[in-house]
Chains A and B, each alone.
Chain A
Amino acid sequence: MATTAENVSKFTSKQLKRVSRMGFDWNMVLIIIFLLGFGLIMVYSASSYRAARDYGGNATYFLSRQAIADLLGIAVAVFAMFIPLKLFSKGWIPWIMYAIAFTLPLLTIPFGISSHGASRWIEIPGTGFNIQPAEISKAAMIIFMAVWLTAHKNSINTWKTFGITMALPLPVCGVIYLVTDNLSSAIIIFAISFIMVFLASRDYLKFLAVIGVVGVIGIIVIAYVQNADISEDGFRLARIYSWLHPENSSDSKAHQVIQSLYAIGNGGVWGRGLGQSIQKISNLPEPHNDMIFSVICEELGIVGAITLIIMYILLLSRIFFIARDTKDMYSFLVVSGIMAHVFVQVVMHIAVTTNSMPNTGVSLPFISYGGSSALLLLAEMGLVLGVNRTNRTEVRK
């Protein structure tokens, strides 16, 4: 018995090595598969009660839709693995990418589906599925910025090019924020671009200065809001106030955050057990989407939450190594841009659910319910795995 088992494990590890030699990062794939599987479990747990209530007893409504999106995403990822990355940097394609990132959100005006007071989705006719253009914009902007920064890698250290480069994502961010009322996606795109510029340039000072200035402004705003008279009508910084004092705020966003904190507190160290969340039943808004991390904390405790965070660190480290091993600036920037994308969303999602930043809806990569997000993130993973393949082939040569 023991020998057989050993043989099997030897065989598998041998096989793994062979595949890995072919340029396939099994570690990363396993992490993604784990995250997707865990995500489906949590989506089901978080959504089944509401699905059963709102969709005529169909408790698996969200689960099945997410499973379809994940499978579709895996197929897209496999396809993306074999697309030569260079293809996107040729001719007008980068500018087409930019145009897509800018115009797709505009399409929600004529073709939009409204939900929760904002029109963020475009229906794909005949399928019953909707697509969120902001997710496509994110991926398109990563490609565009990588091409742009590669082209200007020498002049990026000048204030002029730096300024132009930093201004490039702003129109896209503006459209996403103003047209689809999606502040979080706008912030995410800007943050990704900022990180990519940082990685592309040789300079540190500028970034320290920018971060320093933003930090000082932030502290001033917080200090002002702390002492401000909130009873004044039309208080523009209400969202920040409700972040600092969620318990005193009548704002619905603050209420969501309080409920999220309650969920985390209720979960404690070990959690209430899978499926045992109370908060998901009615108190948490979007328990299967923007607030899924709270449900994870409530059901699996901080132990489960830390495990999940470690999985993300492992995934990011895989992408980190792949980025480090790239030969050319362009693929380095694409991979590290994708890494920044995953990182920014994970940090923002957890920060919102723990009230570490003002509330804005961000989905948790690979876990939250949302077809567009899953599809695009998996496609990006496909690109990263494709870059890895190229890296390895070149190493072998």
Chain B
Amino acid sequence: MESDKNRFRRNSDQSGRPRISSGQSRATKLVIFFAITVLLLGALVIRLIYIVKVHGTEYQKAVLQNQAYDSVVLPFKRGDIVDRSGTVLATSEKVYNMVIDASVMLTYEDDRYFEPTLRALGECFPADVIDVSQIRYYVTNNENSKYYVVAKRLSYSDIQPFLAVQEENDFVRGVYFEDEYKRVYPNKNLASTVLGFTRKNSNAEGQYGLEEYYDNILTGTNGREYGYQNDDDTLERTVKPAIDGYTIHTTIDANIQKIVEKYLKDFNDTHMNAVRTGNGAENLGCIIMDVNSGEILAMANYPDYDPNDYKNITPLIGTQLIEAYTNPAGYIEYETTDTPITQELIYSLSEDQLNVNFSSLWKNYCISNTYEPGSTAKPFTVAAALESGAITGNEVYTCNGYLEVGGHKIKCHTYASGGDGAVSVQDSIAWSCNVALMKIGQAMGKESFSRFQKVFNFGLKTNIDLAGESRTASLVYDAKDMLPSDLATNTFGQNFNVTMIQMITGFSALINGGYYYEPHMVSKITNAGGATIENIEPRVLKQVISESTSEKLRQYTRATVMEEGGERRTGKTARPAGYAIGGKTGTAETLPRGNKEYVVSFMGYAPADDPQIAIYVVVDRPNAAKQDDAKFATGIVRNILTEALPYLGIYMTEELSEKEIKELEEKQLENTYRFGENSENGESTGEEKKEEFVTEGTIVDPTGEAANIYPKWMTYPIDPATGYRVNPDNGEKYDASTGELVEDVNESMGLEVPVNGNLGTSQRQDTSGH
């Protein structure tokens, strides 16, 4: 250093000389150059400080977020949906996606990993799952690719052989598996419209039903596996586990659900293609509710679908084609056409057309579709009149077959035979007399009637915990808009629309002492470990009628089915052998009036002396020449209750006829055990109930010879004109195949009154849509 300084001085001494020193010039330039280097490096230091001071926090965050880039997502498992006894209705199965890391496969140029890996893939997977030549093509053309999904949703048994090879052969590299969950509905179609499904059967995005309504409960949180560098400079992994979704415990009883679906399907298969091409009815719906809690025990409709394969077109075949069109106001509307979807037609449909029809298929008829309830509304009218004091229950009305209201002649279904004559309040329900109901309505007045419609929640959502419940606010009358003829037709359930869930929830309140329970599907939410997160208790929203009114309603509706209602009672075919039940039939004419299309239904409760359950069956436009026959619905109710009541442990109270004993003996061997078990599995409560049931049957059957008795109706000759077997003694007609008594009673009334304009399109296809 010292010598440097000396030299520098010497240079400056020389600078006085009058000659241009090249050495001096270049020294100056060198100093300038060195100064620039220091300046530039100094500028970069300032730049560094600027980056850290101004963007430090932001970049730090970005790095922490970026760690996701180097981390593996651990998918959560979507929560299960189980029935009230724990039977799994929906669950998620772990599946595996195969990922190829081309850069690892091609680590060495001699292909020491590549070839053995391809060979192992070829040996361990069938050619239709893994196309080795395609992988070879991809890897050789994308040598830097680190992530390429080759196959999706392989099961563990699919990949197990390959994992074993990978374990023992060090040269098999560059293939790994990512976890995923696949939604599985082990019982296929069972409760499909109640459950809904998830998009692409994935972990998330529940669609329709419980899957949609409880989507955020069922959805968990993804976990992560992070890679980080420890102090020894090696990569360690830390795991933040996924939080699985919660399991929801529904109030559904899979056994009852199965019974219900069996008989809906039965009905459909029996009536399919009867008079028109297509299903046995446009829609079939059934709800069974616990009247004392609002819990839904079963809810089903037909057609249904398999949520495992919800885009399968098979269930669409037999339904009526629905077309979307844009109305003059610019809104998209849907119209059910008269064209049935056939095998041939379906392949000619566009993607959009199919989607319109799928969204109708996936809807839950029991909550999403609205229709005119018909005579099943009569108990509500009578209850309202009793509760408001307009009638006492002791009135007697005279029915001449019609009533003139506001210039319209509104008929009773007995119009042709000259009317019912003297009709008590009980008879008005039991015989389903429109004239008596219209008179009761007039006694109440429209304000009172309309107020009670609100009390019974018509026009309001029930807020059941399912996605897609329809709004009906515009589909009922306000008192101020109601003409006398509107009031008249409303009293017997025409000219306003309801959903099935509104009807059965209100009916349960009429029966149970007046307590209106919020209908619900889920009773408990548990976490993946089984700990209870939330208990959902039954919730009474209001008392709609008094206990004394309720008692009268139980009496009237019992008379509809049981003998005290007399020969003209409309619901006797709904009674299951051995039980006393109450209920009400309904036959509603659809729009446009006079097209001979009907929605027939039966709404009932059992047992009659101590109501436990309510059942409501709707048959929307049965595939029959004469649609206006409530027996389409009562037959289904009878079949369902015959199996469901013993299963529920409800004792028989009525004597069994020999025919009934035979029928029960044929039936009891199946389906009286709990769902998911076989009949040999003796421990379950279902088995105990079955034994009780057998005991009951044995007592009533003193001879034990019932099985040998030939049903009497089978001996009657067939009437060639009608196809019925006719009793030569009294002219009673019997269905030739089922032996059911064919009633002449006809509830249709040929309404010739103004129609609620709002019902127009929604009658055939609910536009509120889901």
Which A residues lie at the B interface, using CB under 8 A? Answer: 44-45, 48-49, 52-55, 59, 153, 195, 198-200, 202, 259, 261-269, 275-279, 281-283, 297, 301-302, 305-306, 309, 312-313, 316-317, 320-321, 323-325, 329, 332, 336, 339-340, 343, 346-347, 350-351, 354, 356, 395
Contacts and interface: CB of A to CB of B under 8 A. Distances in A.
18 contacts: A45-B233, A48-B234, A52-B235, A54-B107, A195-B33, A202-B25, A261-B55, A265-B56, A266-B60, A277-B229, A278-B63, A278-B228, A301-B52, A302-B49, A340-B33, A347-B37, A350-B41, A356-B44
Contacts of A268: 52, 56, 60
A199 B23 CA distance: 11
A211 to B, nearest CB: 11
Interface in B82-133: 104, 107
A266 B40 CA distance: 24
B34 A48 contact: no
Contacts of B231: 275
Contact of B45 (A281, A306, A329): A306
A19 B55 CA distance: 49
A265 B55 contact: yes
Nearest to B59: A265
B52 A269 contact: yes
B106 to A, nearest CB: 11
Contacts of B25: 202
Interface string B4-39: 100100000000000010100111011001100110
A323 B44 CA distance: 25
Nearest to B66: A283
B47 interface: yes
A264 B55 CA distance: 9
B45 A264 contact: no
B29 A198 contact: yes
B52 A346 contact: no
B63 A282 contact: no
A354 B4 contact: no
Contacts of A53: 235
Contacts of B45: 302, 305-306, 309
Contact of A266 (B34, B49, B59): B59
A313 B51 contact: no
Contacts of B325: none
Nearest to B6: A395
Contacts of B47: 354, 356
B168 interface: no
Nearest to B232: A275
B27 A324 contact: yes
A275 B236 CA distance: 13
B44 A265 contact: no
Contacts of B52: 264-265, 267-269, 301-302
A313 B30 contact: no
B237 to A, nearest CB: 12
B11 to A, nearest CB: 9
A354 B51 contact: yes
Contacts of B350: none
B663 interface: no
B70 interface: yes
B48 interface: yes
A325 B59 contact: no
The listed residue with most B CB atoms (<10 A of its CB), out of A265, A301, A305, A351, is A265
B62 interface: yes
A180 B30 CA distance: 33
Given A54-B107, A278-B228, A199 B33 contact: yes
Given A199-B29, A265-B58, A320-B34, A347 B41 contact: yes
B738 interface: no
B7 A49 contact: no
Contacts of A312: 41
A256 B51 CA distance: 16
A202 B25 CA distance: 6
B41 A346 contact: yes
A348 to B, nearest CB: 10
A153 B107 CA distance: 53
B69 interface: yes
A279 B65 CA distance: 11
A268 B4 CA distance: 39
B227 interface: yes
Contact of B60 (A265, A313, A325): A265
B234 A281 contact: no
Contacts of B41: 309, 312-313, 346-347, 350
B38 A313 contact: yes
B3 A278 contact: no
A202 B23 CA distance: 10
A279 B229 CA distance: 10
Pick from B44, B49, B60, B107 the residue with the most CB of A within 10 Å: B44
A317 B1 CA distance: 12
Contact of B229 (A264, A275, A297, A332): A275
A302 B37 contact: no
Nearest to A396: B3
A350 B42 CA distance: 11
A239 B38 CA distance: 28
A276 B51 contact: no
B294 to A, nearest CB: 55
B37 A279 contact: no
A193 B49 CA distance: 31
Report the 5 A-B pairs with minimum CB-CB distance, sorted nearest first: A265-B59, A266-B63, A262-B59, A275-B233, A320-B34
B99 to A, nearest CB: 16
Given A59-B234, A264-B48, A324-B27, 9 more contacts: A44-B233, A54-B107, A200-B26, A262-B59, A264-B51, A264-B59, A265-B55, A302-B48, A347-B40
B67 interface: yes
A247 B7 CA distance: 53
A325 B7 contact: yes
- Residue among B34, B40, B56 with max Cβ neighbours from chain A (10 Å): B34
Nearest to A200: B26
A269 B41 CA distance: 18
Nearest to B24: A202
Contacts of B37: 313, 316, 339, 343, 347
B233 A199 contact: no
A313 B43 CA distance: 13
B455 to A, nearest CB: 62
Given A261-B51, A350-B44, A281 B229 contact: yes
Residue of B7, B55, B233 ringed by the most chain A CB atoms within 10 A: B233
Contacts of B29: 198-199
Contacts of B107: 54-55
B59 A309 contact: no
A306 B58 contact: no
Interface in B639-664: none
Contacts of A283: 63, 66, 69-70
A388 to B, nearest CB: 12
B592 to A, nearest CB: 57
Contacts of A302: 45, 48-49, 52
Contacts of B67: 278
A12 to B, nearest CB: 17
A320 B616 CA distance: 100
A309 B44 contact: yes
B30 A336 contact: yes
A53 B103 CA distance: 11
A343 B39 CA distance: 12
B229 A354 contact: no
Nearest to A269: B52
Contacts of B57: 265
A279 B69 CA distance: 10
A265 B63 contact: yes
Contact of B234 (A52, A276, A356): A52
A305 B41 CA distance: 11
Most A Cβ at <10 Å: residue of B20, B29, B38, B59: B59
B229 A262 contact: no
A49 B59 contact: no
Contacts of A198: 29, 33
